[in-house]
Structure 1
Amino acid sequence: MVNLYWPVYKSIEHEIAELSSKIHFDDEQLSVYSVKISELLIRCAVEIESISKDLYFKNGGQKANDKDLFFDTDCLEFLEHRWLLSKKKVIVSAPDFYFINDENRILTPLKKANKRGSSGADWAKAYQAVKHNRSQDLKRGNIKNLLRATAALFLLNLYYRDDVFDLLNIKHDNFSHRFSNLFSVKVHEFKGDTV
């Protein structure tokens, strides 16, 4: 199967890295917003919608692929039950991002992503706001929401890639730097045949 998602993710990641050379990414700058940040947020969310549907079907989802199949309440909900996506953490590890607060460094970007409306993830609410009323809600197209949406897309891409690793022969700290210049994930050490 051809992976159409990974090159798009890498392109978005590259654009965010370029943006960070113009804006100092730190805890104080998370509310910085712009049309460019909003555009990147929208592109991330569109990719999340599409990849979540592909993952849904790839992993046994049975609902018809029509206008009644929703990426959040159907696809991400199905994937939540399979993989506990809401518990998966992404570490912001770009060397030129200067976040100190754990809430900005260690993200759970798919927490509440399977919900809709006011119960949903903040990045998803921001996406809907800037998509439908950009002039009024431009402030929601900010660095904080962009990074969380991009982290969600990163995680879904890792699942889509479906790579297999021999964890006994790699360091048990952080190997995902092979995949992203912005994010890392931590691998939990396997301690034998414990059930």
Structure 2
Amino acid sequence: MNELDESYWHYFLMLESDFNATIRFVDLAEKNDSTFSIELSRQIICSCTEFETVAKKLCGLIAPTKPAGNISQYKEIILSKYPDLPRVPVYIDRYKRIIFPFSAWGANGERLEWWDAYQHVKHHRHQNFEEANVKNTLSALSALLILELYLYGTVYPTCDKRKIGTMLLRAPGMSEVLYCQPDEDLPGLLMKRP
């Protein structure tokens, strides 16, 4: 069996923490999606670089003999195992938002807007700085969360290694971020259950 350390998950949590700190200054309302900054430039580059690392690891588990060196190859391999990926949502409960970071890979098999933004910012920041915006950074971080969950779920198919504890983002199979699990109470405080 393949073993997987927690470094991938801890790195995701660090990136999410950075993004969460950013939204203290730029609210996550949709009207701010086009807001861009040097900090968001750093975050989209870091999130997408980690996305590549996790995608390669996941592809190696799914199809060890197939090449996985670019986004087209990641797409082909990952969708061969997880064809419903384009329909997987990420919830931002606090802001009542839902992101589908892989929706473009659905029926039409289009390009991922946030991935293209990352490539543009990485290679031609001086011309494409405005693509380092809230929407693209949030989508990249959301895509990374989904791949992390698939990675850990592939290596550990039982629930004993299920990932929880995010500050902002939630995907199917994760509990809501701001709420207690229904079977736990604070010591000395008995909550009424519905």
Structure 1 length as normaliser, TM-score?
A: 0.76
CA contact (8 A) 1:61 1:78 kept: no
Change (3 A) 1:4 1:185: same
1:76 Cα deviation after fit: 2.7
Q: Deviations over 1:156-182 (max 9, x none)?
A: 11112225239xxxxxxxx97x33211
Structure 2 gaps, min length 5: 174-194
CA contact (8 A) 1:113 1:124 kept: no
Percent of aligned pairs sharing the same letter: 25
| Residue aligned with 1:12, SS | helix
Report the equivalent of 1:70: 69
What's the counterpart of residue 31 of structure 2? Answer: 28
The residue identity in structure 1 corresponding to 2:89 is: K
By how many angstroms is 1:22 displaced?
1.4
* Runs of 4+, deviation exceeding 6 Å: none
1:110 counterpart residue number: 102
Aligned residue pairs, count: 163
Q: Distance in 2 between matches of 1:61 and 1:76?
A: 15
Alignment RMSD, CA only? 2.3
Aligned partner of 2:103: which letter? K
Q: Is the 8 A contact 2:105 2:111 kept in 1?
A: yes
**Correspondence 1:181 to 2:167:** yes
**CA drift at 1:124:** 0.4
Q: Deviations over 1:30-53 (max 9, x none)?
A: 100001101100111111111101
Return the TM-score normalized by structure 2.
0.76
Q: What secondary structure is seen at the aligned counterpart in 2 of 1:91?
A: strand
> Shift of the alpha carbon at 1:106?
1.6
